[in-house]
């Protein structure tokens, strides 16, 4: 216990002297439409980036969105189950989809 | 293994992603500025907060140096460590070197010769929204770029201190942002030692201040003339290797088709590709704003910036007749071969109706910007440099 205190005390003084920047990220969020499937989007698509990435693509066809979801799964290792993949695609097509 | 032979990752590409032919237009310019400002920034066009993706509104490209608070922001990973305890920050130089280095900011500032360079940093995907069908990636307008005066230390001087061994072939640069899971590809960048030159620096200042947190505080790799994907932010490690180290962001992302036109069909990705590197000649019109209305007979000043990969700008011309004839603009002072060069042109339109204004830059190698429609589509939507075009309404 004593040891811990010592380390903390030391760090405390060092940091107090040398803190140079206080960076606070603003509180903002990019929201997407809420429906019964939002929970599937929440559990699959907001770990690594905001929904801003989805919104920024604009309306796209199904092949495009399927490519994105597969890229997230295969390249970026997002653990998306087959069941969830279907629902995510359905959701994306409903709100961010277009026909060719 | 070298870059050319490393094609394994590209097999991931889908085949039937696009139905239509590829074509290229003007990028979008109707984005709105966010109400929320990020640390050390004015409110900018904001595509994401996590990681932050901020674009500079077009009207700020009316000057040669982009202020830090307006400078665009692009990170790849959601976890960006805040370096608050600056005395604990180090740049390590390891691998095929005789002396491994562990440099503090004080070492860098005191033990090396400070150098300055004014250079444009431009995201490889800047203006991507010009490409149709939509290439996968952030749909930037023209504002994923900026020009700043960077101060720091020559990379060569650091490597001289470290003394490269005879085996040294590649330099791997590591930055601070981290993926949320260990198996997600981390962002890193690699240079061949043949790409080393005197003007590559490890910078600790941007426009006379510490590098802004969102632009890579406390250290950023500056590679003048190269696209921004090589300008590693929050640089904390340089690993010198004998063999090329494959990585997602070198071998899959940020690659251009390697053929004459640097173009490909949406349905058929070209097999051979190469990493983005040198920027091509480009210019943008900052003012007036596209679709602005003016009374006939009023004085209008066209203003913008031009740049290229380092040969410097020879001239910028304006066309008022759809590209049939061109008139030279006035060029501002040259702050360096890699910097933005301001151009201005005054006109007084008398006829009512629509007035199309085009700007076209030519560099010192004689290379000129193509029309947007002459540019070939590429799957990453990289390296757009079409002749910028706006339309005014004269009433």
Q: Where are the domains of chain B?
A: 68-275, 282-394
Q: What's the rounded Cα separation, in Å, for the pair B200 and B231?
A: 10
Tokens of A88: 């995510």
Residue B382 reports pLDDT greater than 80: yes
* Residue in B36, B51, B86 nearest the CB of A26: B36
Q: Tally Cβ neighbours within 10 Å of residue B8.
A: 11
Q: What's the rounded Cα separation, in Å, for the pair B323 and B234?
A: 43
- The answer regarding whether domain B282-394 maps to CATH 2.60.40.650 reads yes
Burial tier of B178 (Cβ tally within 10 Å: 0-12, 13-18, 19+): middle
Flag if A21 and B180 touch (Cβ within 8 Å): no
Q: Terminal CA-to-CA distance of chain B, rounded, Å?
A: 63
Share of chain B above pLDDT 90, in %: 77
Average pLDDT over residues B133-149: 96
Average pLDDT over residues B131-138: 94
Residue labelled with tokens 């760090």: A11
- ipTM, interface predicted TM-score of the complex: 0.87
Average pLDDT over residues B246-258: 77
CA atoms within 13 A on the CB side of B273: 26
* Residue in A29, A56, A67 nearest the CB of B47: A56
Residue B171 reports pLDDT greater than 80: yes
User: Which residues of chain A does B12 touch, with a Cβ-Cβ cutoff of 8 Å?
Assistant: 71, 74-75
Cα angle B271-A69-B20, degrees, rounded to a multiple of 5: 55
Q: What's the rounded Cα separation, in Å, for the pair B51 and B73?
A: 9
Question: Which residues, numbered 59 to 118 in chain B, qualify as contacts with chain A under a Cβ-Cβ cut-off of 8 Å?
Answer: 77-78, 82-88
Average pLDDT over chain B reads 90
On whether any CB of chain A is under 8 Å from the CB of B4, the answer is no
Average pLDDT over residues B312-336: 97
Average pLDDT over residues B60-80: 91
Instruction: Tell me how close the Cα of A33 comes to any Cα of chain B, in angstroms.
Output: 17
User: Which residues of chain B does A77 touch, with a Cβ-Cβ cutoff of 8 Å?
Assistant: 181, 183-184
DSSP B5: T
Average pLDDT over residues A13-38: 70
Show Cβ contacts of residue B136 under 8 Å, excluding neighbours closer than 6 positions.
A64, A67, A68, A71, B379, B380
Tens digits of residue pLDDT in B17-32: 676 789 999 999 999 9
pLDDT at A25: 76
Is pLDDT larger for residue B189 or for residue B36?
A: B36
Tokens of B108: 């860098």
Cis peptide before B64 (omega within 30 of 0): no
pLDDT at B307: 98
pLDDT at B102: 96
Residue B179 reports pLDDT greater than 70: no
**Taken in order B76, B79, B85, B89, is the CA torsion positive or negative?**
negative
Tens digits of residue pLDDT in B263-310: 999 888 888 988 888 999 999 999 999 999 999 999 999 999 999 999
Residue of chain A nearest B79, judged by CA positions: A48
Residue of chain B nearest A12, judged by CA positions: B85
Least confident of A21-30, A74-83, A86-95, B221-230: A21-30
Residue B75 reports pLDDT greater than 80: yes
Flag if A28 and B184 touch (Cβ within 8 Å): no
Tens digits of residue pLDDT in B77-89: 767 777 667 788 8
Residue B242 reports pLDDT greater than 90: yes
Residue B14 reports pLDDT greater than 70: no
Q: How confident is the model at residue A8 (pLDDT cuts 50, 70, 90)?
A: very low
Cis peptide before B288 (omega within 30 of 0): yes
User: Which residues of chain B does A14 touch, with a Cβ-Cβ cutoff of 8 Å?
Assistant: 85, 87-88
Give residue limits of the domains in chain A: 26-96
Instruction: Tell the CATH superfamily of the A26-96 domain.
Output: Cytochrome c-like domain (1.10.760.10)
Q: Tally Cβ neighbours within 10 Å of residue A44.
A: 20
Is pLDDT larger for residue A25 or for residue B209?
A: B209
Instruction: Tell me how close the Cα of B181 comes to any Cα of chain A, in angstroms.
Output: 8
Residue of chain B nearest A48, judged by CA positions: B78
Q: Which residues share a beta bridge with B145?
A: B122
Tokens of B221: 């790799």
Which of B8, B40, B48, B219 best tests the A interface by mutation, with the highest count of A CBs <10 A?
B48
Average pLDDT over residues B189-193: 89
**Taken in order B81, B82, B84, B86, is the CA torsion positive or negative?**
positive
Q: Phi and psi of B361, rounded to 5°? A: -100, 150
On whether any CB of chain A is under 8 Å from the CB of B21, the answer is no
Average pLDDT over residues B185-205: 89
Residue A83 reports pLDDT greater than 60: yes
Flag if A49 and B134 touch (Cβ within 8 Å): no
pLDDT at A1: 35
pLDDT at B183: 65
Tokens of A16: 């107090």
Flag if A56 and B184 touch (Cβ within 8 Å): no
pLDDT at A22: 61
pLDDT at B39: 87
Average pLDDT over chain A reads 81
Residue of chain A nearest B186, judged by CA positions: A76
Q: Phi and psi of B386, rounded to 5°? A: -65, 155
Flag if B48 and A49 touch (Cβ within 8 Å): yes
Q: Tally Cβ neighbours within 10 Å of residue B103.
A: 22
Cα angle B47-B49-B54, degrees, rounded to a multiple of 5: 50
Residue of chain A nearest B187, judged by CA positions: A76
* Residue in B19, B185, B217 nearest the CB of A21: B217
Q: What fold, for B68-275?
A: Sulfite Oxidase; Chain A, domain 2 (3.90.420)
User: Which residues of chain B does A60 touch, with a Cβ-Cβ cutoff of 8 Å?
Assistant: 134
């Amino acid at each position: 216990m004593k040891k811990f205190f010592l380390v903390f005390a030391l760090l405390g003084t060092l940091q107090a002297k040398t803190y140079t920047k206080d960076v606070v990220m603003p509180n903002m969020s990019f929201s997407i439409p809420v429906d019964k499937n939002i929970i599937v989007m929440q559990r699959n698509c907001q770990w690594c980036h905001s929904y801003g990435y989805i919104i920024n693509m604009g309306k796209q066809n199904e092949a495009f969105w399927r490519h994105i979801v597969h890229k997230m799964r295969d390249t970026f290792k997002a653990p998306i189950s087959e069941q969830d993949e279907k629902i995510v695609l359905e959701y994306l097509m409903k709100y961010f989809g277009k026909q060719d | 293994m070298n870059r050319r032979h490393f094609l394994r990752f590209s097999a991931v590409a889908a085949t039937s992603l696009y139905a239509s032919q590829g074509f290229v237009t003007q990028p979008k310019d109707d984005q709105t500025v966010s109400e929320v400002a990020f640390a050390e920034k004015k409110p900018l066009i904001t595509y994401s907060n996590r990681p932050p993706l901020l674009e500079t509104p077009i009207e700020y490209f009316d000057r040669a140096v982009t202020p830090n608070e307006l400078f665009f922001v692009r990170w790849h990973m959601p976890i960006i460590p805040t370096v608050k305890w600056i005395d604990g920050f180090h740049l390590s130089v390891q691998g095929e070197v005789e002396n491994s280095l562990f440099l503090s900011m004080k070492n860098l500032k005191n033990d090396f010769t400070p150098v300055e360079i004014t250079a444009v940093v431009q995201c490889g995907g800047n203006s991507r929204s010009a490409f149709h069908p939509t290439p996968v990636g952030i749909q930037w307008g023209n504002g994923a770029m900026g020009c700043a005066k960077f101060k720091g230390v020559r990379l060569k001087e650091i490597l001289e201190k470290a003394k490269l061994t005879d085996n040294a072939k590649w330099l791997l640069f590591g930055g601070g942002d981290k993926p949320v899971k260990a198996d997600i590809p981390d962002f890193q960048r690699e240079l061949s030692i043949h790409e080393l030159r005197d003007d590559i620096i490890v910078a600790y200042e941007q426009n006379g201040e510490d590098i802004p947190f969102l632009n890579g505080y406390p250290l950023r790799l500056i590679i003048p003339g190269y696209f921004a994907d090589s300008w590693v932010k929050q640089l904390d490690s340089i690993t010198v290797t004998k063999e090329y180290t494959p990585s997602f962001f070198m071998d899959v992302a940020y690659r251009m088709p390697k053929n004459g036109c640097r173009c490909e069909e949406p349905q058929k990705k070209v097999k051979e590709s190469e990493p983005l590197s040198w920027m091509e000649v480009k210019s943008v019109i900052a003012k007036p704003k596209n679709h602005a209305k003016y009374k006939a007979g009023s004085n209008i000043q066209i203003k913008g910036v031009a740049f290229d990969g380092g040969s410097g700008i020879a001239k910028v011309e304006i066309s008022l007749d759809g590209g049939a004839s061109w008139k030279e603009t006035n060029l501002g002072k040259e702050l360096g071969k890699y910097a933005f060069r301001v151009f201005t042109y005054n006109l007084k339109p008398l006829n009512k109706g629509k007035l199309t204004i085009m700007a076209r830059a030519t560099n010192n190698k004689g290379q000129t910007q193509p029309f947007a429609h002459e540019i070939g589509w590429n799957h990453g939507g990289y390296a757009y440099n079409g002749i910028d075009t706006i339309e005014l309404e004269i009433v």
